Amino acid sequence: MRTTTRSRTRLRLAGALAAVLVAAGVATGPAAQAGEERHGGHHRTLADLAQRHGRYFGSATDNPELTDAAYTSLLGKEFDQITPGNGMKWYATEPEPGVFDWTAGDEIVDLARANHQKVRGHTLVWHSQLPDWVTSREWTAAELRAVLKRHIQTEVRHYRGKVFAWDVVNEAFNEDGTYRESVFYKTLGPGYIADALRWAHQADPRVKLYLNDYNIEAVGPKSDAYYRLAKELKAQGVPLDGIGFQTHLALQYGYPDTLEDNLRRFSRLGLDTALTEVDIRMQLPADAEKLATQADWYQRLTESCLAVRRCVGITLWDYTDKYSWIPAFFEGEGAALPWDEQLAPKPAYFAIRAALARK
């Protein structure tokens, strides 16, 4: 379903109005959130609204913040899906060769189960956050292939039936569409991606298997590389179910206007898509104009997912500025998420609601 120009304009004006209200000290805090659309006597959450469209609406989380009761309460109420930010990555799950530690990942899974939420597994194969024992030595192809297969299959089997999807290979390409020179690519060649998908499928034939990356939201060299690879993998019968668009955006670089078309072309390959790590950062300090633009972008990306049948859901890369990764990695930037550091909803939150509330 496509959104008309008139409805887009109306929704964007709603986002801008929310920004004005926030700047004026109105429509902030729990009271404003409680005053949002209600159904059957209870607050309609983002998850509730997304489910009306057959989508999920989730958030990443990480283990250190689970001691924050106010944070975990909102996490458990507003969302129906969780992604562990770090607890399932290789450094956490196999810190020593053949020695597996499921503590962090299991804590997230247990939290999700208690809240009746589903879990996206993140991530099996990535060039970053690897333990030293993987990166500090030279491998033969046979050695690394055996290590990679063991890691993937042991982890996927452990979480079999507990996660609905896996980011199997994360960030495999450079910006120009060439393969990233990871230890896996340099030692095993590009075939490591197909092997990783096959091994994951063998370990859990029911879980959905994704490739996941950033800066692939727009049509361009990097997303074209994924499109070509996906076509090749599908033609070879490799078990690939979807493409994850991380959607880490920044106001200073412009909105990816071809997002909806890009989602649609992957759907035509018979693949699901998902917006998997969404945040929209800005150069600080934040002001009403930047917050209004951010709200517009959140609204537009939500509309794009709703417009493409096989875009199955949206996940924020944590939901609150209080626990955002952005300030630590991008100096002078932040305010990237729909809730502020006090867990009060920002204009972006109301813009997402407006998009999801559309019939």
Positions marked catalytic: 171, 277
Task: Tell me the C-alpha distance between 11 and 354, whole Å.
Answer: 6
Burial of 228 (0-12, 13-18, 19+ CB in 10 A): exposed
Question: 56 is written with which tokens?
Answer: 């999920």
Rg, Å, the chain Cα set: 20
Question: 301 is written with which tokens?
Answer: 């990306």
- Judge if the upstream peptide bond of residue 123 is cis by omega within 30 degrees of 0: yes
* Helix, coil or strand: residue 122: strand
Taken in order 5, 264, 165, 84, is the CA torsion positive or negative?
negative
**Which residues are within 8 A (CB) of 152 and not within 5 positions of it... i.e. 6 or more apart?**
124, 125, 168, 196, 199, 200, 203
The count of other CB atoms within 10 Å of the CB of residue 215 is 20
| β-strand partners of 279 | 248
C-beta of residue 276 within 8 angstroms of C-beta of residue 245: yes
